[in-house]
């Protein structure tokens, strides 16, 4: 089992004829993901790495039955690409594009909610269910199939944390990079519920960072709704107030959003928090024993 993507995923790639889209389409296909179509206006009828290209998402769905889309288009076009996928009936959209204007996403989100379209991103590395499907720019070779779910605001820390887990022979059910933009799709609460409901996920790793109150809300959700063991790591513990650190959402303002507040919120609900990423495997082993 896994969440969101698996062997039944039929993936289309919006922006497949661009540099990044074509490169990662090949990587995802090589991993074993069922990449059934690409979309690039004006390029319909061509192929990329044996993948048929269509002019519109609707045409791609009608021809291939695609149910998931990954977006590799420039930031100023990303919102329209997301809306096109949702309008055409795609169930899950993964927006890799970085630098998407926040106001664009503010306009997009209500439409996705109305249509029931799930979104990962934007400005994210995507997700993977090891051994089943890779949808994103994640390095598939570091993942190991197993029973630990992982979610993270940081792409780089996702890779580091997975390396630590895999090196300790701790496999993963699904790993999701949710991105660090202020307005994004599926976040901690939705993913926590999905992992809670997934019978193959036995423990959860949550990687947070400074800024906002998403981690504090996640802690309260864990207290009320999650029975599986959760361990966490918070990045930005030495970040000064008022200075943005990496992601647009990673900023401490008016004394809120600090690493200390987030760590305290988790510890108060019984979530063990690692001081450094290399502590995560031992914490997972500890909580899974109890």
Average pLDDT over residues 249-274: 80
Does the structure show a pLDDT above 80 at 193? Answer: yes
Residues 174 and 84 in one domain: no
Tracing tokens 């059934």 back to the chain, one arrives at 36
Residues 180 and 89 in one domain: no
Average pLDDT over residues 138-142: 96
- Active-site residues: which are they? 247
Residue 250 confidence class, pLDDT cut points 50, 70, 90: very low
156 within some domain: yes
Higher pLDDT: 115 or 156? It is 115
252 within some domain: yes
Residues 160 and 87 in one domain: no
Does the structure show a pLDDT above 90 at 255? Answer: no
Residue 1 confidence class, pLDDT cut points 50, 70, 90: low
DSSP H/E element including 109 = helix 102-115
C-alpha span between 207 and 182 (Å, rounded): 16
Domain that holds residue 245: 139-289
pLDDT of the residue at 259: 87
C-alpha span between 97 and 79 (Å, rounded): 10
Least confident range from 46-55, 126-135, 183-192, 254-263: namely 254-263
Residues 92 and 167 in one domain: no
List the structure tokens of 186: 């599926």
* φ/ψ (deg, to 5) at 229: -65, 140
Residues 145 and 285 in one domain: yes
Does the structure show a pLDDT above 50 at 283? Answer: yes
2 within some domain: no
Residues 161 and 273 in one domain: yes
Of 120, 152, 173, which one is at a domain's C-terminal end?
Answer: 120
Q: How many domains does the chain have?
A: 2
Residue 69 confidence class, pLDDT cut points 50, 70, 90: very high
86 within some domain: yes
Residues 105 and 168 in one domain: no
C-alpha span between 220 and 218 (Å, rounded): 5
Residue 290 confidence class, pLDDT cut points 50, 70, 90: confident
Residues 114 and 145 in one domain: no
CATH number at residue 28: 3.40.50.720
Residues 111 and 69 in one domain: yes
Q: Which residues contact 239 (CB under 8 A, 6 or more apart)?
A: 210, 245, 250, 252, 259
Smallest CA-to-CA distance from 45 within 68, 82, 16, 84 is with: 16
Residues 93 and 224 in one domain: no
CATH number at residue 204: 3.40.50.261
pLDDT of the residue at 211: 83
67 within some domain: yes
C-alpha span between 51 and 68 (Å, rounded): 15
Give the pTM: 0.93
Of 93, 120, 147, which one is at a domain's C-terminal end?
Answer: 120
pLDDT of the residue at 2: 85
Of 120, 155, 171, which one is at a domain's C-terminal end?
Answer: 120
Strands (E), the chain: 11-14, 35-39, 47-48, 51-54, 68-71, 92-95, 118-120, 126-129, 133-136, 145-152, 172-177, 203-209, 230-235, 272-274
Residues 99 and 166 in one domain: no
Q: Please compute Rg for the chain using Cα positions.
A: 19
81 within some domain: yes
Helix (H, G, I), strand (E, B) or coil at 178: coil
């Amino acid at each position: 089992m896994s969440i969101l993507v698996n062997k039944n995923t039929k993936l289309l790639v919006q922006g497949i004829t661009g540099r990044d889209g074509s490169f990662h389409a090949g990587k995802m296909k090589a991993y074993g993901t069922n990449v059934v179509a690409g979309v690039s206006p004006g390029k319909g009828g061509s192929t990329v790495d044996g993948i048929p290209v269509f002019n519109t998402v609707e045409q791609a769905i009608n021809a291939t039955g695609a149910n998931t889309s990954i977006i590799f288009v420039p930031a100023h076009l990303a919102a329209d690409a997301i809306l096109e996928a949702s309008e055409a009936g795609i169930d899950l959209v993964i927006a890799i594009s970085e630098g998407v204007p926040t106001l664009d996403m503010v306009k997009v989100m209500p439409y996705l909610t109305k249509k029931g379209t799930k979104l990962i991103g934007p400005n994210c590395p995507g997700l993977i269910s090891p051994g089943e499907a890779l949808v994103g720019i994640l390095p598939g070779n570091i993942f190991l199939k197993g029973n630990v779910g992982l979610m993270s605001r940081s792409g780089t820390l996702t890779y580091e944390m997975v390396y630590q887990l895999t090196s300790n022979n701790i496999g993963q059910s699904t790993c999701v990079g949710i991105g660090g933009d202020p307005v994004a799709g599926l976040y901690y609460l939705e993913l926590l519920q999905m992992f809670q409901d997934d019978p193959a996920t036995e423990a959860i790793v949550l990687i947070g960072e400074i800024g906002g109150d998403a981690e504090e809300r996640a802690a309260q959700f864990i207290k009320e709704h999650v029975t599986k063991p959760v361990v966490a790591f918070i990045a930005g513990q030495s970040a000064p107030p008022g200075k943005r650190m990496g992601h647009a959402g990673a900023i401490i303002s008016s004394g809120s959003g600090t690493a200390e507040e987030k760590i305290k919120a988790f510890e108060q609900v019984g979530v063990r928090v690692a001081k450094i990423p290399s502590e995560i495997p031992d914490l997972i082993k500890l909580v899974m024993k109890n």
